[in-house]
Structure 1
């Protein structure tokens, strides 16, 4: 473990230049004290490391020094080929480039690692989109990606959900995100998030913009998702869940965090909901596995729906396929020519 960490420190300093102990500790997920010990070990081994004090200080390698400890381990080779996503790469116009890069890496691997990489490619396939959604048409994706790479301003006609639906926007695209098979572009001013498939018209300008040095796409997306869920689930419902009931999404997290199992085995919990209308449909899908206690308007609405369903299905029943009349226990069996 320590030897692997020492190699990581060398590679980080080689690729990024000067880094502080705090930065190295955060990158390697260890304490700063551990980094200090590792730096001492590298220095004792003869690695030309220098430490600069002050505000702009940190550790760095002697100019021109490069480590040759860049060989891949078995796990790293497997992860590299598992991370290759041919679908998204093709959408960005990088399909042939990805294939060529993987071919070159595979050819450079030792025979044992090559076999591991081939096993990964043959046994794992990544397919991001969900089952019940058609793939989005994203005719402007390549142009958006090009603008991201070249830091070019975009002028777009964009369709949003609220009025006025079609609006003109000037965008400075910072980055692209693929979420559940759908592409999003994060762009200034703001920055804000836009669905690429909702761009109706696009013009790439020759005007160049400067991407903020401190902008972190991953950190932005994490914060955006958290804010999205906070804005989405603005209400609460108090419910009882039957033993074995398995809610999904934020409801599942709420059950794990706040659910209280009662003497009869049911779980009492307060769940986040988008609205009464949305929760009405979601809880009906759970059938008899859920009892809504509040808010009153949600409980009353579900009760009305249940009464309507009971009235609709509680009267005379239509004969099932095959023409046999219904009884309380199901279709009545009749004698046949075979003596049943």
Structure 2
């Protein structure tokens, strides 16, 4: 780990010319004290790094210094393969490997192209962390060490032992045969089988993982697109699904349809409002979807959903009727 960090430190200095200890610490995700120790280690190893004092000072390499440390590691090469989505790389625990790989790619360019590439990166922003309304886009997060262990088992074809916390249940240990990894809208999933049955696990709910020595029972080749389609279909048609008939302002139609699993029927009432029969994953999903529509949507059936929304609204009225 430290060797990779030292290489990244040298490449950062080559790319940017001069950086402060604070900036280096932020880029390498370590403390400034660690950066200073790394600088000392590089100097002791003969790397011509020097410090410039003053307000705009920092660390830099002697002009003309060049390193051949641009070979990509396995994880760095893998990170580049999924770099079409920066968030995809992070979902698979490859965020730091992607950053390191991109430094090596830039450093491997001829000097003239290196400057052009560095300038171009300042003109492109992909998947920012907030949208135009300043809403922070929160992605699933799983510990890198856990995701790395899952990733190793997927690639090596060995069984995997998981400590998994399913929604609303106490965490349990289980042994699975890993098939592949999928990322959808910033959420990472492990596709696997357990005792021959298909299973899908959200990476952020895996508390611990251990690659086992036994080979996994799985096909040599897999069509992940088809496997994901089949599991998505099963998810939409099984479980504790709820069917709701809702009256709706036509302007909010796409919003409701986008959150539901499926729209079964759709008609227009005499007053111009839509009447949709839709399915949701479960009761909580249905209540959330109708509540967020406010007065633009109304659950017509089932009655328990109407009662639940009424009680929730009454509680809110009572809260705001009291003095602050």
Q: Same fold (TM over 0.5)?
A: yes
2:97 to 94, 100, 105: 94
**Consecutive unaligned residues in structure 1, runs of 5 or more:** 1-79, 321-340
Partner of 1:335: none
Contact 1:81 1:121 in 2 (8 A): no
**Alignment partner of 1:226: what SS?**
helix
- Preserved CA contact (<8 Å) 2:243 2:279: yes
Matched, 1:177 2:179: no
1:140 is matched with: 146
Q: Is the 8 A contact 1:254 1:269 kept in 2?
A: no
Any idea what SS the aligned residue of 1:239 has? strand
> 1:208 aligned to 2:209?
no
2:50 is matched with none
2:18 is matched with which residue? none
How much does 1:148 deviate?
1.7
Q: Secondary structure at the match of 1:259?
A: strand
Residue of structure 2 in register with 1:153 after alignment: 159
Q: Is the 8 A contact 1:136 1:182 kept in 2?
A: no
Distance in 2 (CA, whole Å) between partners of 1:252 and 1:215 is 30
Superposed counterparts of 1:1-340, under 5 Å: 83=84, 85=86, 87-88=89-90, 91-92=93-94, 94-95=97-98, 98-99=101-102, 103=106, 122-126=123-127, 131-132=137-138, 135-161=141-167, 165-189=170-194, 190-209=197-216, 211-231=218-238, 234-246=241-253, 247-250=255-258, 258-306=265-313
Distance 1:222 1:95, change over 3 A: same
- Over aligned residues, Cα RMSD in angstroms? 4.2
Counterpart Cα distance in 1 of 2:234 and 2:108:
40
Describe the shift of the 1:236–1:128 C-alpha distance in structure 2 as closer, same or farther (beyond 3 A). Answer: farther
- Give the direction of change, closer, same or farther, for the CA distance of 1:186–1:105 in structure 2 (3 Å limit): farther
How many residues matched? 233
Q: 1:177 to 1:268 in 2, by over 3 A?
A: same
Greater RCO, 1 or 2 (C-alpha within 8 Å, sep 6+): 2
How high is the TM-score relative to the length of structure 2?
0.55
Q: Summarize the Cα distance change of 1:89–1:280 in structure 2 as closer, same or farther, 3 Å threshold.
A: closer
Q: TM-score, normalised by structure 1?
A: 0.53
- CA shift in 2, pair 1:309/1:262, >3 Å: same
Relative distance call for 1:262 and 1:191 in structure 2 (3 A) is closer
| Cα offsets for 1:279-325 (capped at 9, x unmatched) | 33432322211122212232344345555656776x7x86x9xxxxx
Give the structure with higher Rg (CA).
1
Distance 2:107 2:91 in 1: 17
Moved more, 81-90 or 189-198: 81-90
